[in-house]
Amino acid sequence: MTIPETEIHTPAWVHDAVFYQIFPDRFAKSDTIEKPAHLEPWDSDPTDHGYKGGDLVGVIERLDYLVDLGVTALYFNPIFQSAANHRYHTHDYYQVDPLLGGNDAFDRMLAACHDRGLKVVLDGVFNHASRGFFQFNDILENGAASPWLDWFQFYEHPANAYDHSRPPGYRAWVGLHALPAFNTDDPQVREYIMRIGEHWVRKGIDGWRLDVPFEIRTPGFWAEFRQRIRAINPDAYIVGEIWGDAREWLQGDQFDATMNYQFTGAALAFAGRHRVDEASVAGRDYEPYPGIGGHTYRERIDRLIAFYPWPIQLAQLNLLDSHDTSRALSVLGGDVRSLELASLLLFTYPGAPSIYAGSEIGVDGALPSDRWARRTFPWDQPERWNRELHGLTASLIALRKAHPALRTGAYDSIVATDDSYVFLRRSDGTRLLVALNSGDAPETVEVPLGGKLGPVDRATTLCSVGEASETSVGDDLLTLSLPARSGVVLDLTGPA
């Protein structure tokens, strides 16, 4: 199905949003929520299976921090009842996990967020459930006699659910015994998932982030999901976890956007250059390694901008890291300046920037084990906070909020060199020029005036990373003297 671009509608609030991704077990823990005894100490190293005890009331207690940072929307990793600290192994889609405070804590948290103007997007894990999911567990108990047999695809009875030396006796996500895949071709399963989506939107959530949605190939499934969700809330946001080319899903009839890992890889590669750590990105399909120069960055970004209709671009969920990647700081070899340059790219790019909780203060952690990317937020360890990085993040958010051109303005690549890249954001007579030199030596870049830049009287610095750049405005050229590993946002003024 092809929908004309003029008829593609993505939620306007997303175009202006700044997201903050929260991994609930690791963000904040409230002393008011009763917990079992066997939790790991909050500040200890994370493990694959241990729980730290973060909860939704802890989120409420930290909302002032998020609002002060400038965040306007929260994306939560799964919150439903599960036997895994990441909660991608869902037991009950209608119950918030008791370790998070249960449904009551969710209701309180959602109301507190909305009172502060914060949107809330939940993680929808609809491709697979868990061994503890009631219908699947019934099949394990009763075999071929179970009335729920058609909800999954079994190869044998009794099914092998726990012996990892042999494949599972059923279709499972990437062959993991713990994650039996739904049979979404079954009408009852399809309806069950649709009703879950509707239930939480009726409860007041503002959208769904869909986990591995490309695995569900049932014809018309995601188009129906969109129709039913939007019938309840026409402004609900639907964003899919698709790491590569997502044009199949981004034509206006299924998802509003994806987690924009193609931007992630390009931004980290350009900002980090030779500092990008190969081992930290092994096995992840977003290509931040090897580092790239300005010409290649321009090519990758121009291709990405051309992929999708503009309303989709404005809704893309742009990020530098997530629970599924190494922390950006670790990918960049621990180099804070590289992360600052990548952040400048993030907050000046079309779409909604997303911060993975803790990355704004320099929390690190690298693959191959996911647990290192899922450290707790060090609330009580101020010595671990990078205050300058936090301040820059807040400043970039404020800059984005102050200038509509950075949120919804047109995007034009202007100049690229081996080390530098210059682009323009423009709307309603406002022209903001962003220039980055990620090389190890200073560079002078000449920007031809006229065309989309128009005439320029002067260039005013709005924000900078690294040493201050110098600008010189001539009749036909804007000359930028960019120090090594620096970036700048310039407001170009002059006749319209």
The pLDDT value given to residue 46 = 95
Q: Which of 211, 256, 287, 443 is catalytic?
A: 211
Clarify whether 241 is annotated catalytic.
Answer: yes
pLDDT digits (tens, 9 = 90+) for 248-284: 999 999 999 999 999 999 999 999 999 999 999 999 9
The pLDDT value given to residue 342 = 98
Domains and CATH numbers, the chain: 5-127+184-402 (3.20.20.80), 409-493 (2.60.40.1180)
Residues of the chain with pLDDT under 50: 495-496
DSSP-derived 3-state class of residue 210? strand
Q: Which of 241, 287, 364, 443 is catalytic?
A: 241
Residue 343 has φ and ψ, to the nearest 5°, of -65, -35
Q: Report d(CA 261, CA 318) in Å as an integer.
A: 7
Listed residue (236, 249, 270, 262) closest to 317, CA to CA: 262
pTM for the structure as a whole: 0.97
Instruction: Let me know: does 317 contact 15? Beta carbons within 8 Å.
Output: no
Instruction: Let me know: does 24 contact 87? Beta carbons within 8 Å.
Output: yes
The pLDDT value given to residue 4 = 85
Q: How many Å from the N-terminal Cα to the C-terminal Cα in the chain?
A: 40
Radius of gyration, alpha carbons of the chain:
23
pLDDT digits (tens, 9 = 90+) for 84-118: 999 999 999 999 999 999 999 999 999 999 999 99
Q: Report d(CA 215, CA 278) in Å as an integer.
A: 28
The pLDDT value given to residue 494 = 58
Distance of CA 371 to the CA centre of its chain: 18
